[in-house]
Structure 1
Amino acid sequence: MLSQRANLISGSKTSGMRNLAARLKAEGKPVVNFAAGELDDNISDVVKHAAIQAVIAGNNKYTETIGIPELRQAIAIRLSQQTGLDWSADEVAVTAGAKQALFNTAMMLFNPGDEVIIPAPYWTTFPTQIRLTGALPIFVDTALTGYVLDSAAIAEKISQRTKAIVLNTPNNPTGSVIHADVLGEIAALAEQHGLWVIFDQCYSDFVYAEAQHLNILQIAPNLRSRVVIIDSFSKSHALAGWRVGYAAAPKALTAACSNLQSHTTSNPNAIAQIGALAALEHYDSRYHEKVLARLNANRQLGLQILQSLRDVEVITPEGGFYFYLNIRCKINGQAAEGQISNCAQLVEHLLANAQVAVVGGEAFGDLNGLRISYAINESDLEQGLWRIVNCLNAIVEPR
């Protein structure tokens, strides 16, 4: 009954666990939701007031397909400041979140048979969108190098069919940040082999003192004609539900994405665009400093609690707002109700016995991982993490 394409798609495990946790909480169950990939913060007053005024002013009409010119120009100015290169509004396409920006890019770049290199663990949507184009995702396992990306591992995967490399820094789910030397080495590989680089920096506003986020074009400006920058207002401005993201790319690709978007969403949400414009034109530094300080405090508290885990590797996040655990030693371990045979069973075990919702690593191409968001209130964070520690520590290796 369904198309062959439908068989390439299964529901997002991150969205599925987030929705399940929300339903359980609505039923009155004391579930701590560590699955949501969004800030537990209200939006800034600057954004809020701009959106309200847009509603009052009657901004309810279609906008240009890839966003209002003022927002695209404001994004171009931001990118110029970030990269040290000149950007124009016609190189920016505003989309319904970064997810649509990635989808448009994949559909307009990749042909059946192309290969696209993706470091793993990866954000769950990357390979699904690539497969929808008929291209093939090729994975580089960073678990082998402590979840730190190695350019040599990228080089080993390059073939005559390779079309692009997807880079996500800070990484979702591990929180690792790609360092300058590695970015430079990957840029050299892309230039040598004529590859595109899809550079997803949606978590770049959340980087901690020991790390530094760099855009690849700061390292390799000569790669400008083959780089697509993906970003979003969802994380940085707590606007996940508003669905505002963007792709910045060479004009020909932006125009092609505009043609595609004209047949899908027509345009991004008009009111959300006004809010995003206000966020850029009237940057609220106190709001962002407050959010980052709270996240850093949660990060420190969480790392302190997670030190009590036994036989579990905790990856210290350099950016983003997730803890990532390597729970390989708990797979095939013995719990009160029986053996835990895989990561999915462990996630179910935590939900049933610790009443916490986490996302299993299989969603990210890693059968031995757990992702835990710490972008929640401090009380839930502390209570929920202790539940995880006690529940995981109770799982023992069978003799």
Structure 2
Amino acid sequence: MFNNSDINFEALKRKAYNGRWATLEDGIIPLTAADPDFRMSTEIEQGIIEYIKDGYLSYGPFSGLPEFKKSVAEHFNSGKNGNFTSENVLAVNSAAMGMYMVAKYVLNPGDEAIIFDPVDFLFKKTVDAVGGVLKLCPVDSQTGDIDFEMLISLIGPKTKLISICNPHNPVGRVYSKEILKKISEIAAAHDLWVMSDEIWSDIVYDNIEFNTYSSVSEEAKKKSFTVFGFSKSFGIAGLRIGAVLCNDQEVLEDFTEKSQFNSTIEGVSTLSQVAASVAIDKAKPWFNDFLAHLQSNRDFAYQTLKDSGILTPNHPEATFVIFPKIENGMSSDQFAQHVLQQGKVAIVPGSERWFGKGAEGHVRICFSTSKEILEEGLNRIIKSF
């Protein structure tokens, strides 16, 4: 399972967009967008087929199907130390949409939001989209360590939100309960909201404990939103399904109302919710095998790059991306272009556009593919110099 023979390259060339197989010339290996090369589990496929067998695709409840909300709450409570009820869950069109909705709810134009630097570009994009002002808090580009003095110094009268990425993309850091508690104390002292993007929280290695942000303290529980999605863990990015979780029921009801989810203007495909519920309830054995494969790929990528002399890798505790430092003096964009042209491998440059200023001098390499593809891709990168 999860070998080269398990990948349908013909299907990927037709369907895998977002900088991947369908967008690149033949012969180029994409180690780009964080999306698995493997097909979804047969349980999810069968669940979708079963659901549509009777021929009905009717409106669902505005806030999400009961089975979806129950599955997500249980998923967080059993695996992430959460304390959610079904009513604390809102179905949304992808984690990215959830991030945007939280920014829109918390920020008025001119309000400030603190985000990490480097971090995935969606954090900046969602704040920009609602007229918010960004304040960048540096994190170590190898370890993800947070500069807490800097974090506190960035808080001013217009600050309303701290947005965290846990596990961190692109660094792969899992923030401990102690660190999250510290963030919650700082946020509570200044009456700030916290948005925790936890889309990567299933893909954690070496049995490291993951704590959902709202579980670490009473302060964290009171004024936070958690965002989650299914594209990474279960390979169903095209279904655009995610969730926003909030322990304060009154806040979530207000959030739902203001986000236009209490009408047919918004709301989420029932088919996508069914697929996500089945993923949680029935596809865990598939996922466990996938996680073991990813950990093996993580270890292989780390060792290969460590000995390359061209890139110095970080050691991700989570996610299926690695964020090595460039050692030959090239900029991130130059390095990525060189590798594309000379090595026929597509990777993501650590440029401001994708991850912020703090990412410069790095590249992001995705390893959610077969060992064979990964090995070929990494060898091509190294040999292109």
Report the TM-score, using the length of structure 1 for normalisation.
0.84
Q: Which amino acid aligns with 1:389?
A: I
The one of 339, 355, 368 equivalent to 1:364 is 355
Change (3 A) 1:327 1:183: same
CA distance in 2 between partners of 1:77 and 1:86 (Å): 9
Change (3 A) 1:265 1:48: farther
Secondary structure of the structure 1 residue equivalent to 2:37: coil
Alpha-carbon offset, residue 328 of structure 1: 6.3
CA distance in 2 between partners of 1:265 and 1:371 (Å): 37
Q: Which amino acid aligns with 2:187?
A: A
Kindly indicate whether the alpha-carbon contact (under 8 Å) linking 2:313 and 2:322 is maintained by their aligned counterparts in 1: yes
The one of 144, 149, 152 equivalent to 2:146 is 149
Post-superposition CA distance 1:21-58 (Å, at most 9, x none):
53324xxx211110021122222222221110111122
The one of 188, 191, 207 equivalent to 2:204 is 207
Which residue pairs with 1:318 in the alignment?
317
CA distance in 2 between partners of 1:305 and 1:173 (Å): 19
Secondary structure of the structure 2 residue equivalent to 1:315: coil
The one of 252, 255, 276 equivalent to 2:253 is 255
Q: Which amino acid aligns with 2:117?
A: A
Which residue pairs with 1:31 in the alignment?
28
Once structures 1 and 2 are overlaid, which stretch shifts more, 374-383 or 204-213? 204-213
Which residue pairs with 1:4 in the alignment?
none
Post-superposition CA distance 1:163-213 (Å, at most 9, x none):
111111111111111123221211110111111111111111111117432
Mapped pair 1:68 → 2:65? yes
Post-superposition CA distance 1:338-392 (Å, at most 9, x none):
xxxx32232222111111111111110122221000001111100100111223x
Secondary structure of the structure 1 residue equivalent to 2:160: strand
CA distance in 1 between partners of 2:143 and 2:17 (Å): 26
Secondary structure of the structure 2 residue equivalent to 1:60: coil
Kindly indicate whether the alpha-carbon contact (under 8 Å) linking 1:167 and 1:199 is maintained by their aligned counterparts in 2: yes
Alpha-carbon offset, residue 265 of structure 1: 6.0
Secondary structure of the structure 2 residue equivalent to 1:330: coil
CA distance in 2 between partners of 1:122 and 1:77 (Å): 28
CA distance in 2 between partners of 1:304 and 1:328 (Å): 16
Q: Which amino acid aligns with 2:290?
A: V
Report the TM-score, using the length of structure 2 for normalisation.
0.87
Post-superposition CA distance 1:215-243 (Å, at most 9, x none):
22332133212010111111122211111
Write out aligned runs for 1:136-285 (5 A): 136-143=133-140, 146-209=143-206, 211-249=208-246, 250-259=248-257, 260-262=259-261, 266-280=266-280, 282-285=281-284
Q: Which runs of 5+ in 1 are unaligned?
A: 1-15, 332-341, 395-399
Secondary structure of the structure 2 residue equivalent to 1:385: helix
Kindly indicate whether the alpha-carbon contact (under 8 Å) linking 1:356 and 1:388 is maintained by their aligned counterparts in 2: yes
Which residue pairs with 1:348 in the alignment?
337
CA distance in 2 between partners of 1:347 and 1:73 (Å): 43
Secondary structure of the structure 2 residue equivalent to 1:126: helix
Kindly indicate whether the alpha-carbon contact (under 8 Å) linking 1:82 and 1:215 is maintained by their aligned counterparts in 2: no
Alpha-carbon offset, residue 256 of structure 1: 3.9
RMSD of the TM alignment (CA)? 2.3
Kindly indicate whether the alpha-carbon contact (under 8 Å) linking 1:120 and 1:142 is maintained by their aligned counterparts in 2: yes
Mapped pair 1:128 → 2:119? no
Q: Which runs of 5+ in 2 are unaligned?
A: 1-15
Change (3 A) 1:273 1:158: same
Post-superposition CA distance 1:110-166 (Å, at most 9, x none):
111211111111111111110111111111121377432233332222222211111
Give the % identical residues: 24
CA distance in 1 between partners of 2:162 and 2:339 (Å): 35
CA distance in 2 between partners of 1:59 and 1:136 (Å): 45
Which residue pairs with 1:337 in the alignment?
none
The one of 51, 74, 84 equivalent to 1:77 is 74
Write out aligned runs for 1:367-382 (5 A): 367-382=360-375
Change (3 A) 1:86 1:170: closer
Secondary structure of the structure 1 residue equivalent to 2:134: strand
Alpha-carbon offset, residue 266 of structure 1: 2.5
Post-superposition CA distance 1:249-298 (Å, at most 9, x none):
23344334433244796221111111222223x34332122001110111
Kindly indicate whether the alpha-carbon contact (under 8 Å) linking 1:169 and 1:213 is maintained by their aligned counterparts in 2: no
Alpha-carbon offset, residue 86 of structure 1: 4.4
Change (3 A) 1:179 1:329: farther
Mapped pair 1:388 → 2:385? no
Once structures 1 and 2 are overlaid, which stretch shifts more, 262-271 or 322-331? 262-271
Kindly indicate whether the alpha-carbon contact (under 8 Å) linking 1:39 and 1:375 is maintained by their aligned counterparts in 2: yes
CA distance in 1 between partners of 2:88 and 2:23 (Å): 41
Which residue pairs with 1:292 in the alignment?
291
Which residue pairs with 1:113 in the alignment?
110
Kindly indicate whether the alpha-carbon contact (under 8 Å) linking 2:110 and 2:132 is maintained by their aligned counterparts in 1: yes
The one of 40, 50, 53 equivalent to 2:50 is 53
Count, aligned residues: 363
